[in-house]
Amino acid sequence: MKKSIFALMTMLSLGAAGLESGQAHAEEVSISPSQQHQYQYHQSHTSNLNISSSNATTSSTSSRTQSVYQRFLAAGGTKEMWEKIVLPESGGNPNASNGQYHGLGQTNQSWGYGSVETQTKGMIQYAKERYGSIGAAIRFRESNGWW
């Protein structure tokens, strides 16, 4: 089966190379019925495995994010702040790091580290001190792509 898949991939690759040079046409690339069957079998089983794996990862990530979201709200964060600042900045990951920027709000301040509660309170304080309110911070973030 590996040889058949390799042969199919080689033929497709050669066909693509011919297309790039303008020499091949779709009807010139042919595969035997057994190669087609093996390719379809491989594709359908690989697709199913990838989807299952992807769903498990998404489900697990979603559960973690939901838990962080609940803690964020319990610490005083708002739904709008979560959707308009946290998700674009960190994807809801309290351990997110991008160079010198860390945490839910992607800051270089000390509150970018630590618990979800510490980060949430730091974000709220930062929003109020720098922008005057959470709403103003959100509007700034929406207009500028950073905060």
Query: Taking a C-beta distance cutoff of 8 angstroms, is the pair 92, 82 a contact?
Result: yes
Q: What is the residue extent of each domain of the chain?
A: 66-144
Question: Average pLDDT of each block of 10 consecutive residues along the chain (147 residues)?
Answer: 45 44 40 44 38 40 80 98 98 96 95 95 98 98 97
According to the model, what pLDDT value does residue 66 have?
81
According to the model, what pLDDT value does residue 115 have?
97
Chain centroid to CA 44: how far? 24
Round to whole Å and give the CA distance between 143 and 28: 53
Question: What does pTM read for this prediction?
Answer: 0.57
